[in-house]
Structure 1
């Protein structure tokens, strides 16, 4: 069935995608209910509704541009401050619990894969995608989807399962800090601090406070986009060369080919090296995080588009179980290890959030809850997830292929 807006009407689709992203940000920053849900989920849900009402198509060249160009460009922009030395120095405790939570994701992927591999074809591909996504974020989902070439129908189903579960889990994470059971079992200094503070000015959400106006110049915009595009270009060229010269044939060669021949991995690596060894230059470019975050909002709108009701009914239930097992194990491991090593409840929840949803949703949760001191550290930890997500995703995909 043809949609109201045809798939080749690029101007209309770009207007809708960018418009939904802008609307989501507006709602998040101006209404407390939207701030708690987060603009990321709002945009995703709006796209799902429009697609299922047949207003916009479920596939279009415009969406391919987002996957092929917007997402790769967002990665370096979000990593301009990915100084490894700074991440380890400033994120402190959050980095440690993030790594422990990431271990929970890896364990969850292995358990879920072994339980369901007989029921879902090529589940190792989906395992690679979810490993990357549940340690990094949406950009890693896109990177691993392209790297492993999973079928479009299964990718759509996995997108539905992932997005639905992420939304549900986000609500769980928002609810846990209000439950007496968890408040009695864990320390929660940031919750106590917020409870002791006066609410922000009426009509002004915490998201609006955090994403306030910052100094930015024409030079910043030019340097952000130019450097981001150059990094993507060089990474794409280098990946194609390395993929062509590294042989395959066994696990180790396949792994080397998959790692060094993956443009997303090289984008991550090149940006990280620049941020680490030229920190003053990279951090002096203002606005990269804002531009990158906006591009990710557009991407989140796009991944909500293929989420058709029929796909949910026919294919998503198995993948919902697959992702549900992973998320459950991640949460249990995070809470157990967090309790064992005496982490605060807020640190544990944000680390798990940064794993499952990425730094964007984790920062949104910290902002929505008023845990302002944790916003910067969790973004740094989440950016570290961008770095290791692709590595671990490719490693797990190649490993589970032989299991």
Structure 2
């Protein structure tokens, strides 16, 4: 109903879905689902009903500009004392999540017949569900997967599987059997929260200068990150660079600089929510006919195995449910989604660890995907 080149109308629709997510989260049922899941499901429905296009230039602006800007905004308040205390556990939780994905991929490969290119597709999607879409592309190139129709089907299935995974993941805290298996570890959460500055409240309106300075600083970090990525052309270097630079500002910047930044965390969260809306719109059911259906079934098996192992082994290794949810989110959805999930749930102490292990996924996912492909061949 709205063409892909109608930029302002599409932007208004994206922001409308984000607003609905914020408002719905204040209701009892919305709080159980969370704003990111509401936004994802809403955008998935309107995209597949043909109300909004599945791809448009403005989506690229959101994913290419708003998401990088959001990362520093979410990290400017990070305290490395908390990061070091939490990241050690998060790395172990991420290693478990990676193992869950690999196990799910192997079980899915032997349960669902994908076809001639099964080894390649399994390896590519496993890499995507450990590091993200960048690893999807890198692994596909590495294993020589060039069938255009299957490539498109796999990309569509990848988005559908991500939505299915996030829906199950966000439902876990409401599932009494799953939640009771995990230790509360409330003392660690409380101490972590004490080390972080409080979020702005309705009574503490931010100044215009503080908001603009936060955006300015974030843009400068991204610009410098691009330069570093150009000098060091390593997979995921842009994300690594802006993460490190943001943490340096958060921990080494003069007090006057840190005090000048206002409303950075809520602004970064809002940008991430717009990003979630574009993910749902990109999941096109129309291209899933035929070849894509077995791929979707494979991903359903992978995700179900991942979630089952998360509840079983995550609890046995004494991780909290929050830690396992963020580690799994960083693994399957990437660092940006992990940060958005942590922000939406109020787990501010897990935003930076989630980002860091998500970047680790960028580094290892392609190698794991290639290994799986060769193993299945």
- Identify the TM-score tier after normalising by the shorter chain: 0.7 to 0.9
1:24 corresponds to = 21
2:45 corresponds to = 49
From 59, 62, 85, the equivalent of 1:63 is 59
User: Counterpart of 2:282 in 1: which secondary structure?
Assistant: coil
1:274 corresponds to = 245
Shift of residue 159, structure 1, vs aligned partner: 0.7
Shift of residue 301, structure 1, vs aligned partner: 0.9
Scaled by the length of structure 1, the TM-score of the pair is 0.70
2:271 corresponds to = 295
Shift of residue 232, structure 1, vs aligned partner: 3.2
Distance 2:280 2:33 in 1: 16
Structural mapping, 1:199-348, within 5 Å: 212=201, 215=206, 216-235=210-229, 237-238=230-231, 242=233, 260=234, 262=235, 265-275=236-246, 277-278=248-249, 279-281=251-253, 284=258, 285-344=261-320, 347-348=323-324
User: Counterpart of 1:131 in 2: which secondary structure?
Assistant: coil
2:165 corresponds to = 165
CA contact (8 A) 1:79 1:383 kept: no
From 135, 138, 156, the equivalent of 1:144 is 135
The number of residues matched between the two structures is 342
- Runs of 5+ unmatched residues, structure 1: 133-139, 194-208, 243-259, 368-374
User: Counterpart of 1:402 in 2: which secondary structure?
Assistant: helix
Post-superposition CA distance 1:103-151 (Å, at most 9, x none): 323443455456658537441322221211xxxxxxx43x335545783
Distance 1:96 1:296 in 2: 26
Post-superposition CA distance 1:241-293 (Å, at most 9, x none): x4xxxxxxxxxxxxxxxxx2x3xx11222234334555232993454443333
From 4, 25, 46, the equivalent of 1:7 is 4
The structure-2 alpha-carbon separation of the partners of 1:155 and 1:228, relative to structure 1 and needing over 3 Å to count, comes to same
User: Counterpart of 2:130 in 1: which secondary structure?
Assistant: helix
Distance 1:212 1:120 in 2: 56
The structure-2 alpha-carbon separation of the partners of 1:223 and 1:366, relative to structure 1 and needing over 3 Å to count, comes to closer
CA contact (8 A) 2:103 2:305 kept: yes
CA contact (8 A) 2:159 2:283 kept: yes
Post-superposition CA distance 1:138-167 (Å, at most 9, x none): xx43x3355457834431232122213321
CA contact (8 A) 2:21 2:39 kept: yes
The structure-2 alpha-carbon separation of the partners of 1:346 and 1:83, relative to structure 1 and needing over 3 Å to count, comes to closer
The structure-2 alpha-carbon separation of the partners of 1:165 and 1:92, relative to structure 1 and needing over 3 Å to count, comes to closer
Distance 1:327 1:311 in 2: 21
Post-superposition CA distance 1:163-193 (Å, at most 9, x none): 133213432x1333x23x873x554465xx9
The structure-2 alpha-carbon separation of the partners of 1:266 and 1:95, relative to structure 1 and needing over 3 Å to count, comes to closer
Distance 1:332 1:84 in 2: 32
Distance 1:269 1:379 in 2: 15
Distance 2:24 2:371 in 1: 43
Shift of residue 17, structure 1, vs aligned partner: 1.6
Distance 1:72 1:269 in 2: 11
Is it true that 1:363 corresponds to 2:342 in the alignment? yes
- Runs of 5+ unmatched residues, structure 2: 190-197
Shift of residue 55, structure 1, vs aligned partner: 1.9
From 355, 363, 374, the equivalent of 1:402 is 374
The structure-2 alpha-carbon separation of the partners of 1:64 and 1:324, relative to structure 1 and needing over 3 Å to count, comes to same
The structure-2 alpha-carbon separation of the partners of 1:11 and 1:343, relative to structure 1 and needing over 3 Å to count, comes to closer
RMSD (CA atoms): 3.8
CA contact (8 A) 1:359 1:379 kept: yes
Distance 2:367 2:77 in 1: 25
User: Counterpart of 2:374 in 1: which secondary structure?
Assistant: coil
Distance 2:81 2:266 in 1: 23
